[in-house]
């Protein structure tokens, strides 16, 4: 089992992009095609984070449920 860490705007390889201003914006961005998450949704997965990442993981999971995604 592997893992696929994600990076947010303003960090890592996305450093040049302006940071997103809210957790909700970040969670919504994760579901956009350019985030690369859509390709990972066809296999069993877990969502977790620490501190701010945990809040983001929670919001992301709420969006998955609201959009009836796996």
The rounded distance, in Å, linking the Cα atoms of 15 and 67 is: 29
Which tens digits make up the pLDDT trace of 20-40? 899 999 999 888 877 778 777
The rounded distance, in Å, linking the Cα atoms of 50 and 56 is: 9
pTM: 0.78
When computed from its CA atoms, the radius of gyration of the chain, rounded to whole angstroms, is 12
- Is the Cβ–Cβ distance between 5 and 13 less than 8 Å? no
Closest C-alpha to 40, from 30, 29, 50, 48: 30
Using pLDDT thresholds of 50, 70 and 90, give the confidence band for residue 4.
low
């Amino acid at each position: 089992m592997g893992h696929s860490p994600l990076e947010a705007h303003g960090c890592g390889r996305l450093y040049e992009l302006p940071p997103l201003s809210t957790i909700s914006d970040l969670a919504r961005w994760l579901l956009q095609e350019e985030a690369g998450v859509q390709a990972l949704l066809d296999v069993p997965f877990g969502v977790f984070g620490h501190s701010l990442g945990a809040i983001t993981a929670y919001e992301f999971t709420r969006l998955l449920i609201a959009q009836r995604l796996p």
